[in-house]
A = this chain, B = another copy of it.
Amino acid sequence: MSVESTVVKIAEAARKASIKIARCSTEKKNEALLKIAQKIENRADFLKRENEKDLIFAKEKGLTSAMIERLKITDATIKSMVTGLKNVAKLEDPVGAVTSTWKRPNNLEISKMRIPLGVIGIIYESRPNVTADAAGLCLKSGNAVILRGGSESINSNLALAGLISDALIKTGLPKEAVQVIPVRDREAVNILLKQEELVDLIIPRGGEGLIRFVVQNSDIPVLKHYKGVCHVYVDEFADIETAKNICINSKVQRPGVCNAMETMIVHENIAKDFFEVMVPAFKETGVELRGCEKTCELIDAIPATDEDFHAEYLELILAVKIVKDMEEAYEHIEEYGSLHTEVIVTKDYEKARRFVKDVDASAVMVNASTRFNDGGELGLGAEMGISTSKLHAYGPMGLTELTTTKFVVFGDGQIRQ
C-alpha cells in the first residue's frame, strides 16, 4: 500500500472511531485508560525489547546522546506513563458539560455543550512516552487520535500502539480511536496535514523546525508554540528579597524548559540595590549574565546583543535589561517576547493591575515564578503542551482545550418570522 493510502485509510478509520468514542460514557473511557496502564505495566519487558531496536537504529544513525537519552524507555518512563494514565482517569470528563445557558424572547432555550473536537493528529519527536500521554488525554476528552512520532522511535511507538489497541478492544471501544502511523517516510506527515476533511486539529510537539514545517504545510488548524522567551520585570517598587527568589526560581530551577526566564528587566531606580543582592545569587547558581549597556555600567556582565534578547537559551545564561519605566519594559516585551509568560515583581497595586491588563502573553503573573505557567501548576490536571497561538487555546492545554462547544436549542415548534 502506498504511503498516501495508508495515511488516508488511518484518517478515515479515525473519523469513524471518533463518532463512537464521542458518545462513549466516562466510565468506559476510564476503564480503557486503566486497562492501557495495566497493559503497559505488565508488558514493560516487551516494550523495552522493542525500544532496544530503536536504540540500536539510533546509534547506527549517529543520533546525539541527548536524543538517545530521550528515546530510551526506562523503568522510570514506564512508571511515568502508567501514573499519567491513572491520573487522567481521575480527571473530570469535560464532555457533555453545559458551559452556559440562556433563554430568548421567543422562549427558545439555548445552551452551549462541550463536545470532543473529533480527530486529533499529534506529530512529535523522539520521546515514546508522548504516545501514551497523548493517547490518554485524547481518549478521556472523547477524541480519536492519530500519532506520528519520530521515525527513530517507530518500534517503540508501534509496540505501545499494539498494547493500547488490545486494551481498547477488551473495553469494547474501537481500536482505531488510537492509531500510530506505521511508516518511517516523512511524506506521511505531509499527507496527514492535508486531511482537512477527516482531521480536526494538529498538535506538533518538538523543536521550532518541526513546528514551522507543520504550520507551513497544514490545511488543518494547528495549536503550537514556537518558543518561550519569558521575562521577569523587577519594578522600582519590588521587594528585593521576593524579586531575588522569583528570579532565581524562574531561571535556575529548570533552565531547559519553555517557562524558564530568559531575560530579566530591571527598573533603573532599583537596579543598583537589586543587583547587590541578585548578582551574588546568580554567581552562586552559575548563571552567566549578558547585560544591556546600562547594566554593564553597573555590574560585571557580557555585553548583550540584539540576538541575546531574542534568545531562548534553555541554559544558565540570562539577558539583563535596564529600563527607565514600565512603558519601556512593555516595549521590550512586545519586541522580544514570545507571548508565553510575563511576570512583574512589585508592591505597587496600580502597576500590578496595569501590567496584568496591558501585557499580552498566555500567562501574565504578579509576584510569582514564570515556572508556574504549566497545566499541572495552574490546576488543569495533565496538559498537552502550552499554546502561544491565540485561537482556541492560549496557554497550557488541558482536557477542556481538547474539546469545543456546540449550540443546543430546545424549542416548542418555534419558526423564524
Q: Which residues of A contact B (CB under 8 A)?
A: 19, 22-23, 96, 102, 104, 108, 110, 113, 115, 117-118, 196, 200-201, 215-216, 219, 221-223, 239, 242, 245-246, 248-249, 253, 334, 352, 356-358, 360-369, 371-373, 377-379, 389-392, 394-396, 404-416
Contacts and interface: CB of A to CB of B under 8 A. Distances in A.
A108 B362 CA distance: 17
Copies held by the complex: 2
Contacts of A372: 108, 409, 411, 414, 416
A409 B378 CA distance: 9
A306 to B, nearest CB: 16
- Which of A222, A245, A379, A409 is most buried by chain B, counting CB atoms within 10 A of its CB? A409
A406 B379 contact: no
B415 A371 contact: yes
B117 A200 contact: no
B416 A371 contact: yes
Nearest to A112: B395
A253 B200 CA distance: 33
A398 B268 CA distance: 44
A405 to B, nearest CB: 6
Contacts of A117: 390-391
B253 A415 contact: yes
Nearest to A342: B406
Contact of A242 (B201, B361, B405, B413): B413
A332 to B, nearest CB: 13
A211 to B, nearest CB: 11
A117 B201 CA distance: 19
A257 B379 CA distance: 43
Contacts of A246: 413, 415
A416 B390 CA distance: 26
A416 B395 CA distance: 18
Given A221-B389, A249-B415, A377-B104, A96 B357 contact: yes
- Which of A215, A394, A414 gathers the greatest number of chain B CB atoms within 10 Å? A414
Given A366-B410, A367-B410, 11 more contacts: A19-B360, A110-B378, A113-B356, A215-B219, A216-B219, A242-B413, A356-B410, A366-B409, A366-B411, A377-B416, A392-B392
Contact of A404 (B222, B390, B396): B390
A117 B404 CA distance: 18
Contacts of A391: 117, 200-201, 221, 223, 391-392, 404
Contact of A364 (B216, B364, B378, B409): B409
B104 A239 contact: no
A94 to B, nearest CB: 13
A223 B104 CA distance: 26
A415 B221 contact: no
Nearest to A413: B242
A413 B245 contact: yes
